[in-house]
């Protein structure tokens, strides 16, 4: 089975992020993840920061791809957040501010599917023109969702 992250992106999993630093925007994403997954927010927070301490998930090109695996869910949850403000302190690999964050919470048991899902995100979002369009759509979750799904149709 081929995994495409956009099949897990819904109206509820797309958001504008109004935080001004990494902690604030990640807090918004973690809160949304807890709401969607029905998992304990503190568990998601702890796992997310543990992952960030290993290596930044700021991959460059204004993009960050935080991701965790957990028990107690049956399918992945993918949250697309577009920052209204450049996140200067994300410590991205290219030392540039982050504007688009795709946060993935996936089941722990299927590593192959997890890697395919992360690969799908990376392939679709390495398109700098799509990233720029998403940045321009900050503040408009409906447009963000449309852009993500439009890219799928290509």
Q: What is the CATH number of the domain that holds 119?
A: 3.40.930.10
Residue 74 has pLDDT above 50, yes or no: yes
If one counts the domains in the chain, the total is 1
Distance CA 97, CA 56 (A): 13
Nearest to 100 by CA among 55, 68, 53, 147: 147
Mean pLDDT of 64-88: 95
Q: What backbone phi and psi angles, to 5 degrees, belong to 67?
A: -155, 140
C-alpha to C-alpha distances, 72 to 37, 39, 75, 152, nearest whole angstrom = 9, 8, 9, 28
**Average pLDDT in the chain:** 92
Count of C-beta atoms within a 10 Å radius of residue 100 = 23
Question: Tokens 């504008």 identify what position?
Answer: 16
The DSSP line for 58-77 is EEETTEE--EEEESS-SS-E
pTM, 2 dp = 0.93
Give me the pLDDT at residue 2, please: 66
Give me the pLDDT at residue 152, please: 55
Give me the pLDDT at residue 39, please: 96
Non-local (6+) Cβ contacts of 26 within 8 A are: 19, 48, 49, 52, 66, 101
Give the structural domain span for 25. Answer: 5-153
């Amino acid at each position: 089975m081929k995994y495409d992250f956009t099949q897990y992106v819904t109206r509820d999993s797309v958001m504008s992020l109004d935080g001004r630093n990494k902690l604030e925007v990640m807090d918004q994403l973690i809160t949304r993840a807890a709401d969607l997954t029905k998992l304990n927010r503190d568990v998601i927070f702890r796992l997310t920061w543990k992952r960030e301490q290993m290596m930044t998930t700021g991959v460059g090109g204004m993009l960050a791809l935080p991701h965790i695996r957990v028990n107690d869910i049956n399918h992945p949850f993918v949250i697309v957040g577009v920052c209204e403000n450049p996140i200067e302190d994300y410590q991205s690999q290219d030392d540039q501010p982050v504007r688009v964050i795709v946060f993935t919470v996936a089941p722990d048991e299927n590593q192959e599917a997890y890697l395919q899902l992360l690969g799908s995100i990376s392939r679709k979002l390495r398109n700098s023109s799509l990233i720029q369009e998403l940045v321009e759509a900050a503040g408009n979750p409906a447009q963000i969702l449309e852009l993500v799904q439009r890219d799928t149709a290509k």
